[in-house]
Amino acid sequence: MNNRRNAYTEVYTILQDLNEEEYNKIPPEVIETLDANRNKEYEYFLDNELELKDQPMLPETKAILFNLFRDYLATPEQRTKIIKMQNEARQKNELKKQQMYNTDVFANKSINKTTKLNENEVKTNNNEKQIVEYKENIFKRILNKIKSLFIKR
């Protein structure tokens, strides 16, 4: 929680250093929200000799700045490029997760495996579906038997 508030302070400080044209591209509500939620006790100073990418800052600050750049400061071409890169990164991440956790449960099952059949199952070809006859469980049958005794009387 404190890191986020410190990141808001860093972002707010960086935005104050923007030129007026770029600063005006960012909606006032966003700047007001950053100002209202920032840690006012945390002080962040920009080193004017360093480029922005070389400034020491929290990872949360970089993420917020990236989103602000994408949404408000980037040209339409830059925005589409960024969105395309983010989508590709998400797809790679999802593919990596699938490989890592092997979420495809049915991939290793073979269709032609033979299994023991209950007497209620009808044996068919391996490529066809098997029909299973419904049979009530033992508790339900006992309960129904008891009910039938009371209904008869």
Check if the beta carbon of residue 86 is closer than 8 Å to that of residue 92. Answer: no
Average pLDDT (110-120) is 45
Report the pLDDT value the prediction gives residue 152, as an integer from 0 to 100. Answer: 59
Over residues 119-133, the pLDDT tens digits come to 444 455 455 666 777
Report the pLDDT value the prediction gives residue 24, as an integer from 0 to 100. Answer: 92
Over residues 15-37, the pLDDT tens digits come to 998 889 999 999 999 999 999 99
- Where along the chain do its domains lie? 2-73
For every residue of 66-111, DSSP letters joined together read: HHHIIIIIS-HHHHHHHHHHHHHHHHHHHHHHHHHHT--TTTT--T
Average pLDDT (105-117) is 50
Percentage of the chain exceeding pLDDT 70: 80
Per the model's pLDDT, the better-predicted residue between 110 and 4 turns out to be 4
Answer positive or negative: Cα dihedral of 77, 81, 87, 90: negative
Report the pLDDT value the prediction gives residue 46, as an integer from 0 to 100. Answer: 86
Q: Give the span between the Cα atoms of 57 and 6, in whole angstroms.
A: 10
Average pLDDT (2-16) is 90
